[in-house]
Amino acid sequence: MVFNSKLYLLLGELEGEHYNYGDSVSLSDSKTLLEKTLEYCRNIFDKRKLGYSVWNILNIWSELRGQLSGLDLSELDLRGFSLNGVKLQSQSHTGNGSVCFNNTLIDREVFLGKSERGRVLDVCFSKSLSFPMSYFGYGKEVVLFATASSDGTVKVWEMASKKCFDVFDEAKEAVTAVEFLPCGQYVVGVSKDGFLRIWNLKEDGLVFEIQAHKAPIASLSISDDGTQIATCGEDNLVKVWKREQTDLWTKIQTIGGHTKTIECVAFSPDGHYLISGAWDRSIRLWDLQLGEVYWVKRDHVSVINDVAFSPDGKFVLSGSSDDTILEWSLSDGKVQQKYFDHHQGVNSVNYSPDGQYIVSGSSDETIKIWNRKTGDCIQTLRGHQYYVNAVMFSPNGEHLISGSADGMVKIWELETYSCIQTFSNYSGLHVQGIDFRDLHQDSHLGSADKSLLRQYGAIFNNEDEQIWHELVNRLCYLYEEE
């Protein structure tokens, strides 16, 4: 097989071999060259003839661009090329920038071989998009939630369609916390690489990133008005960031006082106070307007893993590795209630929207719902197979979401206390809106493979296509209304 000489020049440049002294090939010209080269490879399903040409070309291209969106990969032999971790569609999800797989030959083991579940470290519901609406005759609720994972990704899911809508993988290490801005169009994440990142869900992807700390970041909190973000981490500091422009945030405050890693932080509903918990076993309430600590408490005997404000802003929850949950009065820092029933550390705590109940997730693999007035555990939810790292009530108070180190995300219905949906947090599946209906007949994907890929937005039949495009249209409509 003879390839265009410019291709060899391009490959040499991309691989760092600069011994070619002819005219260089610019990146802007290379896509056309790539498409012409792939045309030579159509309908060749014999590895002895094809060799590694297509695999080398696409591997270099995907490493350079981070994606293959918009390429026509039809009638190519991709049995040796892993598509795991490669973005196959444009951020807008309109279908115009998607890879074409018509009569493409893929190998199931290669395609899915590197996909494994990452530990779920945080979960968060979007508040603003969780409401009933009718669009093109569909009257389903739009309920988005996001997950942060040890695989370095933030994933955005839609509950009704059971689809992963977006995967953001810019982080080089585990993403430890995730939240939506109140407008619902942006997702904020922090990671162990020390970065704070913000993504626009509509079409732009990553719109802001900054190395916020010189050490791993453990958690974040967003003020209710969406104008401030607090981050904390292993440098024993809390930093407060203010929104100056749409996609520009600047640091306005650095708070010290803890002597060990700060594991958690939360704004009060009015944005006046900030609560933090650390490995030094202390909880500190900060007055942000005065820039000083309001009170410090050390009633826990182990690491503070999570803190949360009550909806009315008058109380604070803390969950600790000492297996307990404490509720504190904001005004004087006195313990108002103690919750004892977990058998291992409490990793996550949250209030219900009406403030009547508390939910907690623990390393004992259980989720517990508590009556705040009596302090009694009224229900224990089981289903996860490892530590429960994050729990949260839905904005309407009808559901719970939980994320676990077992790599699973579960949605629980509170009326029946039953799990109604389970999502697998697999890494590397960038197949949202990709059409797999016309793969080469020798591309064998089993029913379990198809179910997994469907959860990430892959299309295998007309019903899949309708569900996916309905989701895209409805979300785009909602974002336009913002």
CB contact set of 136 (below 8 Å; sequence gap of 6+): 470, 473, 474
Tens of pLDDT, residues 179-233: 999 988 899 999 999 999 999 987 768 999 999 999 999 999 999 999 999 999 9
Tell me, yes or no, whether 27 lies in a domain. Answer: yes
Read off the amino acid at residue 382. R
What's 255-297 look like in SS3? ECCCCCCEEEEEECCCCCEEEEEECCCCEEEEECCCCEEEEEE
Buried b / exposed e over 86-121, threshold 16 CB at 10 Å, is bbbbbbbbebebbbbbebbbbbeebbbeebebbbbb
Tell me the C-alpha distance between 28 and 139, whole Å: 44
* The pLDDT of residue 481: 53
Residue 389 falls inside a structural domain: yes
Residue 377 included in any domain: yes
Is there a domain that residue 454 lies in? no
186 lies in the same domain as 300: yes
Both 216 and 106 in one domain: the answer is: no
Q: How many CA atoms does the CB half-sphere of 243 hold within 13 Å?
A: 17
Q: Judge if 45 and 181 occupy the same domain.
A: no
| pLDDT tens figures, 53-88 | 677 777 767 766 667 877 888 988 888 788 888 888
- Of 364, 455, 354, nearest to 397 (Cα)? 354
Do residue 85 and residue 142 come from a single domain? Answer: no
Residues 336 and 231 occupy one common structural domain: yes
Same structural domain, 301 and 358? yes
Q: How many CB atoms lie within 10 A of CB 4?
A: 12
**Domain contains 462:** no
| pLDDT of amino acid 283 | 98
Examine the domain organization and report whether 157 and 78 are in the same domain.
Answer: no
At 253 the pLDDT is 96
H/E stretch holding 129? none
Does residue 98 sit in the same domain as residue 188? no
Residue 104 resides in a domain: yes
Weakly modelled stretches of the chain, pLDDT under 50 = 1-3, 13-22, 24-25, 27, 51, 131, 133-138
Residue 478 lies in a domain: no
Assess if residue 69 is contained within a domain: yes
Report the C-alpha gap between 357 and 70 in whole angstroms.
49
User: Of 24, 56, 55, 54, nearest to 40 (Cα)?
Assistant: 54
Tell me: do 375 and 436 sit in the same domain: no
Record the pTM. 0.88
Residues 180 and 320 in one domain: yes
Boundaries of domain holding 311: 120-424
Residue 63 shares a structural domain with residue 154 = no
Question: Residue type at 405?
Answer: A
Same domain, 225 and 292: yes
In angstroms, the CA 237 to CA 214 distance is 10
Q: What is the number of domains present in the chain? A: 2
Least Cα distance to 146 among 420, 480, 409, 417 occurs for 409
Sign of CA dihedral 255, 257, 262, 265: negative
Q: What pairing do the DSSP bridges indicate for beta strands 175-180 and 163-168? A: unpaired
**CA angle 77-451-137, nearest 5°?**
110
